[in-house]
Structures are given as structure tokens and as C-alpha cells.
Chains A and B, each alone.
Chain A
Amino acid sequence: GAGVSQSPSNKVTEKGKDVELRCDPISGHTALYWYRQSLGQGLEFLIYFQGNSAPDKSGLPSDRFSAERTGGSVSTLTIQRTQQEDSAVYLCASSLSLAGGRYEQYFGPGTRLTVT
């Protein structure tokens, strides 16, 4: 079946502009995660969603970052007033459920964001 898809694959934006990144999880997966990966670095957790429950936003680095998940499926990560330090690859992952890690996450190809 189809894997996790993300769009756009690349995004170049000017400092101060807003950007929206999209994630389509695997069908049937109720849990969805967003991560950020800076060049040569590990994964930084941003936010996760589980079904219709309130998301865990504890990883969002500032109030310029927000995310929503409509209808328990597609998710959008929005970065307002982008800064150069926001430049990174943004990864989306989904899993069957949260369940404390009982299920592995499947990752999308990422969106490479460059803020000039």
C-alpha cells in the first residue's frame, strides 16, 4: 500500500514568510508525528496526534509553529514568520496507534525547507 507522503518535497521561502507543510499518513494509521532534522543532526520531536485526542505540542520550538490534523488523517504543519534557523528537513511519520511505542513509526520522505 501507499506509504506516508509529504508535500512539497522542497520549499524555499524568504525570511518572514509563512509556510505550510503537508503530510498524508498511511491509511488506517491513527497516530501521526512531526519531527525536524537539521543538517547532519538527529530527529527533534515537534508534535504528535492520536485520533481525535488533543495533540501533544510539547516539542514545538516556538509559538510560530502550529499543526493541525483534519478528519484524523491529513496533517498540516504551519510555520509563521519563518526564520533562517527554521531551515531543516521536516519529517512526518505515522503508526497504527500510539500505544506507548508498541507500534513502529513509518516515515515520509520529508520536506526540505530553506529560509533565505
Chain B
Amino acid sequence: AQKVTQAQTEISVVEKEDVTLDCVYETRDTTYYLFWYKQPPSGELVFLIRRNSFDEQNEISGRYSWNFQKSTSSFNFTITASQVVDSAVYFCALASPNTGNQFYFGTGTSLTVIP
């Protein structure tokens, strides 16, 4: 069974603080893909990143970084020096060739950055 758990329902940080959003996944597949999406208050989900299961290299994009650890089945997302514009709901998702092409989304983490 495929499952994505985002245990943090809501997080509040003060602007310029760093924040890490946790994502834990479950799958028996050896080939799979992990994703992060951002849903700002405007409502439209924005794709942030995709990783495949064979690439455990961490990735950094500006203030965003992702830590993929197969040993703990986690794909955590860190925002450095948070800004008010980072306030949004963030979703982690999992897909694999054996999931019938469905994406399995976590329940999301609502991040509020306080100025």
C-alpha cells in the first residue's frame, strides 16, 4: 500500500526563521517518485520538486532544500530564512509505476510565516 504522512498539520514561524516540513512515505516499490507542491492562499497548487527513488542527492534551490533519506522513508523540505510569501499549505506526494498511475498526496502542512 502507498501512503504519505505529513504529521505536522500547522506550523507557525516568525519571518527569517528556518522551518522544516516533514514527509514520511510508505511503499513496497523500488521505483517511485516523490513530489512537493505548494498551495498558496490563492488556491492553485504549484509544483516544487520531483525526486526519483534512485537519486538520494539532496537538492537546494535558493532558500528551499530537500532531504531525501530512503533509510527513514522521508523526504523533508526545509525553507531557510522564511518569508511571508512562503505562507501556504505544502503537500507531499508519492507515485510509482505500480500505483496505477495515481498520485498519493499527504494531508498537507499549513505554514504561516508571521512578519
Which of B33, B91, B99, B101 sits near A42, CB closer than 8 Å?
B91
Which stretch from A11-19, A69-77, A78-86, A107-115 is at the chain B interface? A107-115
Range of interface residues on A (Cβ < 8 Å): 20 to 34
Q: Tell me the bound Cα distance from A50 to B101 in angstroms.
A: 10
Q: Tell me the bound Cα distance from A9 to B105 in angstroms.
A: 23
**Cross-chain contact B43 with A89 (CB below 8 angstroms):** yes
B55: chain A residues at CB < 8 Å are: none
B99: chain A residues at CB < 8 Å are: 100-101
B31 sits at the interface (CB 8 A): yes
A105: chain B residues at CB < 8 Å are: 47, 103
Q: Tell me the bound Cα distance from A41 to B91 in angstroms.
A: 11
Q: Tell me the bound Cα distance from A50 to B97 in angstroms.
A: 14
**Cross-chain contact A104 with B107 (CB below 8 angstroms):** no
A/B pair count, beta carbons within 8 Å? 62
**Cross-chain contact B44 with A101 (CB below 8 angstroms):** no
Q: Using A100-B96, A101-B33, A101-B95 as known contacts, say yes or no to A33 and B103 having CB atoms under 8 A apart.
A: yes
Q: Using A58-B100, A100-B98 as known contacts, say yes or no to A42 and B107 having CB atoms under 8 A apart.
A: yes
Q: Using A91-B45, A100-B31 as known contacts, say yes or no to A42 and B108 having CB atoms under 8 A apart.
A: yes
| Contact surface of A with B, Cβ cutoff 8 Å | 31, 33, 41-43, 45, 48, 50, 56, 58-59, 89, 91, 93, 98-102, 104-110
| Contact surface of B with A, Cβ cutoff 8 Å | 31-33, 35, 37, 42-47, 50, 52, 91, 94-103, 105-108
7 closest A-B pairs by CB: A101-B95, A100-B97, A98-B101, A107-B45, A101-B33, A42-B107, A43-B105
